[in-house]
């Protein structure tokens, strides 16, 4: 008996008088004790499925066809789409439980863990006297230490990982038949992700729960799931056993996803990118034939007219692609990494044992609190054309280090040199040295770009700082050149940020930093908010900039694979300390510091045969964190 | 919680000292700029220039301004606010009589404003998108468009004069004796001494002036609470509660409302201070014997000691209500209670 069977599930939306099919004809099934992964980039419709289950579609969206047959342990089969709303509400939180994406905001900030867990148990009909014991038991199962004192805390007193464990404990408290986990580890650090996956899998296996695991991360899905369905623009383009989908994908989109993901081991080749991005809602309406065809590297004329159907290519393996499509893989050139020695020049930037101490707040009697050492004695140097990666988890001090380099904060100790000039203390003199040499690219292009300025004014913003002031013609010419350099179509020059896609915004963000032809970019998590295929485009753009302009880069990221792809040298930061530094390849091959080893072990490896998550390593990481 | 409340109140108290000093100096200084002659006003007609000088010396008005201020401050600290020139009575006695009336009025207006504003905000949210919301929205616009003293006059004309539903002059109806004074608060004393006739009359007399005051608070609370609720229900924990099957009613009252109330409480703190200012006109219009009316009489008669004292009392009241709102805010928001104890 399957726990959940979707048949021909379709969702449509009314958009400017047109009906757009957002989810088209989805078929999938999950049996008890199994995990089905729904994998896709943003806009694929993967979260829409969870919203159909909970009947919380955005206004204007309706289920236009199909069924979702759900059967719990009582053997009754109910259609979640057709059933009465009140009956469905009774199933939610009891038979069907949800694990959210953002654990820190998914708990009410004004209520203790106990109050919220108690409310949930009361709703499940647990008598008042038994609730605290049930709570402690459930929290122990998710490996939270000292649950008795933890329940009295408020969410803001807990870390993201702890909140997620509480939410997992609540989800499994009713022993549900189905758990829907929507990107449950996306907001968490690598090491926390490993623990959360371990806990979730453990509970799911023990209770023989069916699970829907929604993620953008094909590599993670391959690790977590039994079966994977890959979604593109509201359609399942490929479905099959996780091992096969991740190792021998047949659909050109799945292959592209895999090719866009930089590997953690093995030879590095230039990432293969797809042009453009997934069609948005308005584009879907006018799209004929295969929805992937406009981006497909192997399309032919028939793809643009006929919609392909899912067809069986191997036992249990379905692909939605025209049979003519052979899907030959294009040959990719290996990437060349110019090492620091090869360029052989003096460093542009030298950071010499800098530290940043934030003093604690004074209390009402004027006594100072303890304060935080955000960065303790960090050193690094960057030569022209050198890409240096800084890796660390949240709170490691990597973003503070970027601010110190940029002069946005003043270090409390140490020196910062640019071309041999001391620019340690931020002042107007050091500012002008910095501005001509360094530029920063910010993490979130959404908030880094002024929404009221057109692209032309955005990318040439730094020209306003010059005392002379650039003429409009100069700015237009510079903007046109910058768009070409960052691979943006020239017609975007008069658009506003709201009219751009996420990838385009990040390119504009980079173009703006390039305006004054800096020799060094400081980039703080600039690809972490992007989809894999867009991420690959940006990474390749950075490599091209190095080839063409010999630009240097300080690349701050939590993503080891991305740092390995881009950077010749890397630093590992942990709690404000640089614990390891060296050639990227050497660190990946022979990590010296236990934290680096733990961090490397926590990232899901590409090879499905190597065990992950590694339990003993995990415990050491918890101990150091 | 109790300890933190005390700590907060203590901190407020310490901070209040410099504020009160500044206010007292400001009031003292500005009043000296008035073309008022308290000495001349205190003298009987036909007094001589020698009498004038004598009284001036007696009042201490011949000394430098700074010295005068210090003398006044010194007396104030020992509980002596001086004597009223116009009423010929100690200022402390006048304030002790008028302050309870104002406190009763402000409490009633404050409670009414918070209750109506809170209920209205919830109502507007519950009826969002419907005709009910538009009606309430229109009502708040009308309430805010008309200043409270004009509301006071309109209420008197419609409810008091035309419909004759409620009394609108003073604190008690004619022929009703004051209850024996215990606390000075009319409502409390009536209850304590079992004087139900004076309790009823006092309550009826409170309705119109309290409503006029509440109109300055309720529509703002309504609007802030509504928009804050609209934002709060988009939050993740609301979605997550819904996905746990928590009932909509419970989601609104237990999860959304306390979170949405935080900005409303901050607003109440600011507006609560303004409400004391509103009492000046409202008390005058309703002939309500509170410190607002006392202030008006004092200003009219250039009664400097009374003006100074009442201004300080207002300052203390505003600081007091701010402290009360701070405690309420802290009670609702654990982040303030537990800051730093991660």
- Average model confidence (pLDDT) for chain A? 87
- Amino acid A329: pLDDT: 58
CB atoms A92 and B243 under 8 Å: yes
A172 CB-contact burial (10 Å; exposed 0-12 / middle 13-18 / buried 19+): buried
Q: A107 and B237: CB-CB below 8 Å?
A: yes
Q: Measured between alpha carbons, how far is A95 from B325 in angstroms, rounded to an integer?
A: 43
Cβ atoms of A359 and A365 within 8 Å: the answer is no
Backbone angles phi, psi at A168, to 5 degrees: -65, -40
Is the pLDDT at A328 greater than 70? The verdict is: no
* pLDDT band of A625, cuts 50, 70, 90: very low
Q: Which of A32-41, A270-279, A375-384 has the lowest mean pLDDT?
A: A270-279
The nearest CA of chain B is from the CA of A282 a distance in Å of: 24
Q: Do B245 and A123 touch (CB under 8 A)?
A: yes
Contact A74, A20 (CB under 8 A): no
DSSP symbols for A541-595: HHHHHHHHH--EEEEEES-HHHHHHH-SEEEEEETTEEEEEEEHHHHHHS--SHH
Higher-confidence residue: A528 or B102? B102
Q: Is the pLDDT of residue A16 over 80?
A: no
Phi-psi region of A569 (alpha: psi -120 to 50; beta: other; left: phi over 0): beta
pLDDT at B269: 86
Chain B environment of A102 (Cβ under 8 Å): 236
**Can you point out the beta strands (E) in A233-286?**
235-241
Q: pLDDT digits over A427-439, tens only?
A: 888 888 888 889 9
The pLDDT of A498-504, averaged and rounded, is 83
Q: Do A108 and B255 touch (CB under 8 A)?
A: yes
Considering only CB atoms, A364 lies closest to which of B11, B235, B240, namely B11
Interval A279-301 mean pLDDT: 81
Tokens 């979605």 belong to which residue?
B239
Over residues B245-269, mean pLDDT: 92
pLDDT tens, residue by residue, B327-341 = 888 888 888 877 544
Task: Show residues of chain B in contact with A157, CB under 8 Å.
Answer: 338, 341-342
Q: How far is CA A553 from CA A381, A419, A434, A513, A590, in A?
A: 11, 15, 14, 12, 24
Q: Is the pLDDT of residue A623 over 50?
A: no
Band of pLDDT at residue A364, cut at 50, 70 and 90: low
Q: B234 CA to chain A: closest CA distance, Å? A: 11
pLDDT of residue B340: 43
Q: Tell me the per-residue pLDDT of A585-617, one tens digit each, with 9 for 90 and over.
A: 999 999 999 999 988 888 888 777 777 877 644
In this complex, which of B11, B245, B332 lies closest to A110 when CB atoms are compared?
Answer: B332
Q: Which of B243, B335, B341 sits opposite A54 (nearest CB)?
A: B243
Q: What percent of chain A has pLDDT over 90?
A: 45
What integer pLDDT is reported at residue B109 of this predicted model?
94
Tokens of B51: 């009498």
The alpha carbon dihedral of A565, A566, A571, A575 has a sign of negative
Of A22-26, A93-97, A202-206, A341-345, give the lowest mean pLDDT range. Answer: A341-345
Residues from chain A that touch B259, judged by Cβ atoms under 8 A, are 108-110
Among the CATH numbers 3.40.50.970, 3.40.50.300, 3.30.390.50, 3.90.1150.10, which is that of A343-360+369-590?
3.40.50.300
Is A54 an 8 Å CB contact of chain B? yes
A363 falls in which pLDDT band (50, 70, 90)?
Answer: low
What's the confidence (pLDDT) of residue B239? Answer: 93
Q: With CA atoms as reference, report the closest residue to A244 among A235, A254, A253, A252.
A: A254
Best of A108, A126, A362 to substitute, by most chain B Cβ atoms within 10 angstroms, is A108
How close A328 gets to chain B, by Cα (Å)?
A: 44
Residue A575 to chain B, least CA–CA distance (Å): 17
Which of A89, A106, A156 lies nearest to residue B240, judging by beta carbons?
A106
Extract the tokens encoding B84.
Answer: 């009223």
Chain B within 8 Å of A102 (Cβ-Cβ)?
A: yes
The DSSP 8-state label assigned to residue A58 in this structure reads: P
pTM of the prediction? 0.86
Q: Which is nearest to A117 in space by CA: A182, A171, A161, A177? A: A171
pLDDT of residue B54: 84
Reference A262, options A20, A622, A597, A562; nearest CA is A562
Give the least confident one: A5-14, A358-367, A388-397, B159-168: A358-367
pLDDT at B210: 94
The pLDDT assigned to B4 comes to 76
Which site among A72, A99, A106 would you substitute to test the B interface, given the most B Cβ atoms closer than 10 Å to its Cβ? A106
pLDDT for A624 beyond 50: no
Per the CB < 8 Å rule, is A110 touching B258?
Answer: yes
Which of these ranges, A127-141, A435-449, B58-72, has the smallest mean pLDDT? Answer: B58-72
What residues of chain B have any CB closer than 8 angstroms to a CB in chain A? 7, 11, 235-237, 239-247, 250, 254-255, 258-259, 332-335, 338, 340-342
Cβ atoms of residues B144 and B220 within 8 Å: yes
Please tell me which of the candidates B246, B335, B340 has its beta carbon nearest to residue A119. B246
> Could you tell me if B208 and B152 are in contact, meaning their C-beta atoms sit under 8 angstroms apart?
yes
pLDDT value of residue A323: 65
**Mean per-residue pLDDT for A98-125?**
94
Mean pLDDT of B211-218: 93
Query: pLDDT category, A619, cuts 50, 70, 90?
Result: very low
CA distances from A157 to A109, A136, B334 (A): 10, 18, 10
Tokens representing A208 are: 């023989």
pLDDT over threshold 80, residue A68:
yes
pLDDT at res. A618 = 45
All structural domains of chain A with their residue ranges: 105-173, 343-360+369-590
β-pair type (A96-99, A178-182): parallel
A291-315 pLDDT, tens digit per residue, is 888 888 888 888 888 888 888 888 8
Is the peptide bond preceding residue A384 cis, with omega within 30 degrees of 0? no
Which domains, ranges and CATH numbers included, belong to chain B?
91-337 (1.10.3720.10)
Whether A11 has a pLDDT exceeding 60, the answer reads yes
Say whether pLDDT at A340 is over 60: no
Element (H, E) at A323: none
Tokens 């599930």 locate to A9
Region B122-151: mean pLDDT is: 91
The answer to whether A119 contacts B254, with C-beta atoms less than 8 Å apart, is yes
Nearest to A89 among B245, B254, B341 (CB): B245
- Residue in chain B closest to A50 (alpha carbons) equals B243
């Amino acid at each position: 008996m399957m726990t959940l069977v979707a048949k021909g599930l379709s969702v449509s939306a009314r958009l400017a008088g047109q009906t757009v099919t957002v989810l088209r004809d989805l078929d999938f099934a999950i049996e008890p004790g199994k995990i089905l992964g729904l994998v896709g980039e943003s806009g694929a419709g993967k979260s829409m499925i969870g919203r159909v289950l909970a009947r919380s579609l955005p206004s204007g969206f309706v289920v236009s066809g199909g069924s979702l047959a759900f059967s719990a342990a009582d053997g009754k089969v109910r259609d979640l789409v057709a059933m009465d709303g009140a009956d469905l509400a009774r199933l939610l939180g009891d038979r069907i439980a949800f694990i959210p994406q953002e654990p820190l905001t998914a708990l009410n900030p004004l209520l203790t863990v106990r109050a919220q867990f108690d409310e949930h148990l009361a709703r499940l009909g647990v008598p008042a006297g038994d609730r605290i014991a049930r709570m402690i038991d459930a929290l122990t199962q998710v490996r939270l230490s000292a649950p008795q004192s933890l329940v009295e805390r408020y969410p803001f007193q807990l870390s993201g990982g702890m909140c997620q464990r509480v939410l997992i404990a609540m989800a499994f408290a009713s022993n549900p038949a189905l758990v829907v986990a929507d990107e449950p580890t996306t907001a968490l650090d690598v090491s926390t992700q490993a623990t959360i996956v371990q806990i979730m899998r453990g509970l799911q296996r023990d209770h023989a729960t069916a699970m829907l695991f929604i993620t953008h991360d094909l590599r993670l899905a391959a690790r977590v799931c039994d079966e994977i369905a890959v979604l593109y623009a509201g359609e399942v383009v490929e479905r099959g056993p996780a091992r096969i989908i991740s190792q021998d994908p047949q659909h050109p989109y799945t292959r592209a996803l895999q090719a866009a993901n930089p590997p953690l081991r093995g030879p590095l080749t230039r990432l293969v990118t797809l042009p453009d991005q997934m069609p948005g809602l308005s584009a879907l309406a006018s799209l004929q034939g295969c929805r992937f065809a406009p981006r497909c590297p192997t399309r032919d004329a028939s793809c643009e007219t006929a919609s392909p159907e899912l067809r069986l290519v191997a036992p249990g393996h379905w692909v939605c692609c025209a049979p003519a499509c052979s899907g030959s893989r294009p040959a990719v050139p290996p990437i060349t990494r110019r090492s620091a020695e090869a360029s052989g020049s003096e460093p542009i930037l030298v950071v010499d044992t800098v530290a940043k101490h934030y003093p604690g707040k004074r209390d009402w009697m004027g006594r100072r609190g303890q304060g935080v050492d955000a960065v303790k004695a960090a050193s690094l140097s960057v030569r022209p054309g050198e890409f240096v990666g800084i890796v660390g988890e949240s709170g490691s001090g990597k973003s503070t280090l970027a601010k110190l380099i940029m002069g946005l904060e003043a270090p409390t100790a140490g020196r910062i040199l640019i071309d041999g000039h001391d620019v340690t203390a931020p002042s107007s003199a050091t500012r002008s040295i910095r501005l001509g040499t360094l530029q920063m690219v910010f993490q979130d292009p959404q908030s880094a770009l002024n929404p009221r300025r057109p692209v032309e004014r955005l990318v040439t913003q730094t020209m306003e700082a010059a005392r002379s002031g650039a003429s409009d013609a100069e700015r237009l010419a510079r903007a046109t050149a910058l768009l070409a350099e960052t691979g943006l179509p020239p017609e975007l020059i008069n658009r506003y940020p709201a009219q751009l896609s996420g990838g385009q915004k990040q390119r504009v963000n980079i173009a703006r930093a390039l305006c004054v032809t800096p020799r060094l970019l400081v980039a703080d998590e600039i690809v972490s908010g992007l989809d894999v295929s867009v991420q690959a485009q940006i990474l390749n753009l950075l490599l091209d900039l190095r080839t063409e302009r010999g630009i240097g880069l300080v690349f701050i990221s939590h993503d080891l694979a991305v740092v390995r792809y881009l950077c010749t040298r890397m630093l590992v930061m942990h709690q404000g300390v640089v614990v390891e530094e060296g050639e990227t390849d050497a660190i990946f091959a022979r990590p010296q510091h236990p934290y680096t080893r733990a961090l490397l072990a926590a990232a899901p490896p590409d090879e499905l045969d190597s065990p992950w998550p590694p339990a003993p390593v995990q415990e050491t990481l918890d101990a150091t964190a | 919680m109790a300890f933190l409340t005390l700590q907060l109140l203590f901190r407020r108290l310490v901070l209040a000292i410099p504020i009160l000093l500044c206010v007292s100096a400001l009031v003292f200084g500005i009043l000296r700029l008035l073309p008022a002659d308290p000495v001349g006003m205190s003298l009987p007609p036909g007094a001589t220039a020698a009498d004038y000088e004598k009284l001036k010396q007696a009042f201490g008005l011949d000394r430098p301004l700074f010295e005068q201020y210090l003398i006044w401050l010194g007396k104030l600290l020992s509980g002596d606010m001086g004597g009223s020139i116009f009423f010929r009575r100690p200022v402390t006695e006048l304030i002790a009589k008028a302050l309870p009336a104002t406190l009763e009025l402000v409490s009633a207006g404050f409670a009414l404003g918070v209750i109506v504003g809170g209920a209205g905000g919830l109502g507007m949210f519950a009826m969002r998108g419907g005709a009910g919301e538009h009606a309430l929205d229109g009502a708040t616009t009308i309430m805010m468009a008309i200043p409270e003293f004009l509301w006071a006059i309109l209420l008197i004309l419609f409810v008091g004069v035309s419909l004759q539903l409620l009394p609108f002059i003073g604190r008690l109806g004619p022929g009703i004796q004051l209850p024996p004074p215990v606390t000075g608060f009319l409502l409390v004393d009536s209850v304590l001494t079992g004087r139900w006739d004076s309790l009823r009359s006092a309550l009826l007399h409170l309705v119109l002036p309290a409503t006029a005051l509440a109109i300055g608070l309720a529509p703002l609370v309504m609007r802030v609470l509504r928009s804050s609720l609209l934002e709060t229900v988009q939050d993740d924990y609301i979605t997550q509660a819904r996905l746990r099957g928590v009932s909509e009613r419970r989601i609104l009252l237990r999860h959304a409302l306390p979170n949405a109330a935080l900005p409303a409480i901050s607003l109440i703190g600011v507006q609560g201070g303004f409400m004391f200012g509103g009492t000046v006109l409202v008390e005058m219009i309703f002939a309500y014997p509170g410190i607002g009316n006392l202030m008006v009489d004092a200003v009219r008669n250039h009664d400097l000691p009374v003006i100074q004292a009442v201004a300080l009392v207002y300052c203390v009241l505003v600081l007091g209500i701010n402290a009360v709102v701070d405690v309420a805010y802290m009670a609702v928001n654990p982040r303030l209670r537990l800051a730093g104890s991660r």
